[in-house]
Structure 1
Amino acid sequence: MGKDIAGFNYEFIKLHQENSLWTVTISKPQSLNALSVKIIDELGDFLRQLSEMGFEHARGLIITGEGEKAFVAGADIKELAELNEEQANLFAVKGQSVFHELNLLKIPVVAAVNGFALGGGCELALACDFIVASKNAKFGLPEVTLGLIPGFGGTVRLSRAVGLRKARELIFTGDMIDADEAYRIGLVNEVVPSVADLLPVVNKKFQTVFKRAPVAVAHSKLSVNRSWDLEVEEALKYEAEMFSQLFSTEDAKEGTNAFLNKRKPEFKGI
């Protein structure tokens, strides 16, 4: 059994730890878990602390929403309505910075989408490494219906997930799509029948990842993420650098020795 973590003292996010797997639950169900400044600050604070933990304490992160209606149903519109241009820029930069922390984490991050993932909620899911969605999930970037555009990375990450043409269609129309359509276009990795099935399926994925070398998984994430920012030639050089660095790790020695001796490896994250 895992344990709920009370020591962080957050108001709107709940933490659960089971061995080295962490779960963050966005918990403001009265507003369908809408992203307020307070929630973004709390999530950012936790991610910064998580980034400092070793593999013995943190090897994976799940992000989900409270209840069965919403993962995160967008930003807090009441807060948005009060912003001027300068404040709006600061708000966007804050959200982008926190979501980028998910990319910088050396561990895999999975969004367990349990309902509406709209606006900032869709952008939060896009910032994760995998997305698993329940059948009732809905995805969308409806900002144009408010006279706005996505501000937490949606115009950048959606096209990388589903391609330019589909991203343009979804952003320009602001239309919602269901979980099956999200899976069809490559936005979602897997769709499960119900919210109750989400965490068991995600946990099973992590149990597979946890059998692999932690440092190799971390380097894989770094290399994949950097490849988007570099020209092909530079990305290949970076991959070669990540590949060669692993030859100085104990895990690489253990993995190759285990293979040659026909036994299961025992990785330590070093």
Structure 2
Amino acid sequence: MAVLLGRGALWPALRLHTADGVCRLAAASCPGRSVLSGTGAPPARLRAHGAGTRHYSSDSDDLRVRYLDREDAGIVVVGINRPKAKNAISKNLVKMMFDAVEDIKKNNKVRSVILCSLVPGIFCAGADLKERVKMHQSEVGPFVSKARALITELGNLPVPTIAAIDGAALGGGLEMALACDIRIASNTAKMGLVETKLAIIPGAGGTQRLPRVIGVSLAKELIFAARVVDGTEAHRLGLVSHSVEQNKSGDAAYLRALELAREINPQGPIAVRMAKLAINQGIEVDLSTGLAIEEACYAQVIPTKDRLEGLAAFKEKRNPHYKGE
């Protein structure tokens, strides 16, 4: 029960504030500003959702965040876009991702998040070593700590997060994916925590999250040997939930992630958030404490309008219309 008392502030935090006007990643006129203007033909994952879709981005365009609309309203696509650097994690990218995560947390209309790459053949190559080599030794530790904090915040998002890995996810790139609830990879994607090749260790959660996902012994083997596996092998190891055959446009994992987000979308949003909270907290404690956490999370859904709507829809043999209330 001590765990529950210590986490007492989490439930109010999950009742997010409406953020229709939150536009931290854009200029003041963000509702009408498309991040695709002047960039030529947009990637397939940023097309075909209507001109009314809102776009958020910064001027540097290292990160593009899209809130889908119409039938996909509630799905947020966070796309890393640093083609010249193979999506490597830089100071600017960390800052932009912090801002994006903060905006998502404030928006109670968000039901799922897809983390993907807008650069063909790459998810994220890890730390930006060209930037790193210019850092003074005293700067490295604080930067890694900030990157670790970002990935922790990504993992703490209250809604389901899906990593769509359509290319190489190495080092910090894989650590970001490991912080997501679900990972989907193309069969040709490459994944690995390769830090020991550089005489360092995974420093943004990799030594902790990988063992929790695939088991201690296998995680040690992959980390010690800096081994890289493809999507098919990653699925066999349990590193990813799904491995899909890559397509000609190079976005097979993204398309499968979108399908999954569409499966999640119609479900009760508060219930999904509480389920995630119960799982994430419960897996870290003994079964008895975990059951108490589940009971506490269940208690939060009982007074909701959504629960009553679910019962009414069942009785009337129709699809429910949940509002997250």
Same fold (TM over 0.5): yes
Cα distance between partner residues in 2 of 1:28 and 1:266? 39
In structure 1, the partner of 2:15 is: none
In structure 2, the partner of 1:53 is: 107
The answer to whether structure 1 residue 173 and structure 2 residue 225 are counterparts is yes
Cα offset, 1:82, TM superposition: 4.0
Cα offset, 1:230, TM superposition: 2.6
Where in structure 1 are there 5+ consecutive unaligned residues? none
In structure 2, the partner of 1:249 is: 304
Assess, with a 3 A threshold, how the Cα gap between structure 1 residues 231 and 90 changes in structure 2: closer, same or farther.
farther
TM-score normalised to the size of structure 1? 0.93
Cα distance between partner residues in 1 of 2:61 and 2:141? 25
> Over residues 113-164 of structure 1, what are the superposed CA-to-partner deviations in whole Å (9 max), with x where a residue is unaligned?
1110000000011011111111220000010010000011000100111010
Alignment of 1:1-270 (within 5 A): 1-2=49-50, 3=53, 5-6=55-56, 8-19=58-69, 20-55=74-109, 58-83=110-135, 86-194=138-246, 195-270=250-325
Question: Secondary structure in 2 aligned to 1:112?
Answer: strand
Cα offset, 1:6, TM superposition: 4.3
Cα distance between partner residues in 1 of 2:314 and 2:85? 52
Cα distance between partner residues in 1 of 2:223 and 2:79? 27
Cα offset, 1:83, TM superposition: 4.3
Assess, with a 3 A threshold, how the Cα gap between structure 1 residues 93 and 7 changes in structure 2: closer, same or farther.
closer
Assess, with a 3 A threshold, how the Cα gap between structure 1 residues 211 and 6 changes in structure 2: closer, same or farther.
closer
Tell me, yes or no, if the aligned pair for 1:4 and 1:15 is still in contact at 8 Å.
Answer: no
Assess, with a 3 A threshold, how the Cα gap between structure 1 residues 236 and 84 changes in structure 2: closer, same or farther.
farther
Cα distance between partner residues in 1 of 2:253 and 2:195? 27
Two-structure CA RMSD over aligned residues (Å): 1.7
Tell me, yes or no, if the aligned pair for 1:44 and 1:98 is still in contact at 8 Å.
Answer: yes
Cα distance between partner residues in 1 of 2:222 and 2:244? 23
Cα offset, 1:265, TM superposition: 1.6
Cα offset, 1:85, TM superposition: 5.3
Cα offset, 1:260, TM superposition: 3.6
Cα distance between partner residues in 1 of 2:59 and 2:287? 44
Question: Secondary structure in 2 aligned to 1:248?
Answer: coil
Cα distance between partner residues in 1 of 2:79 and 2:56? 13
2:241 partner amino acid: N
Cα distance between partner residues in 2 of 1:241 and 1:137? 40
Cα offset, 1:263, TM superposition: 2.7
2:227 partner amino acid: D
Tell me, yes or no, if the aligned pair for 2:116 and 2:254 is still in contact at 8 Å.
Answer: no
Assess, with a 3 A threshold, how the Cα gap between structure 1 residues 36 and 148 changes in structure 2: closer, same or farther.
same
Larger mean CA deviation between 147-156 and 8-17 belongs to 8-17
Cα offset, 1:95, TM superposition: 1.0
Cα offset, 1:177, TM superposition: 0.5
Q: Larger helix proportion, structure 1 or 2?
A: 1
Cα distance between partner residues in 1 of 2:222 and 2:147? 21
Assess, with a 3 A threshold, how the Cα gap between structure 1 residues 116 and 103 changes in structure 2: closer, same or farther.
same
Q: Alignment length, in residue pairs?
A: 268
TM-score normalised to the size of structure 2? 0.78
Cα offset, 1:258, TM superposition: 2.3
1:208 partner amino acid: E
Larger mean CA deviation between 91-100 and 143-152 belongs to 91-100
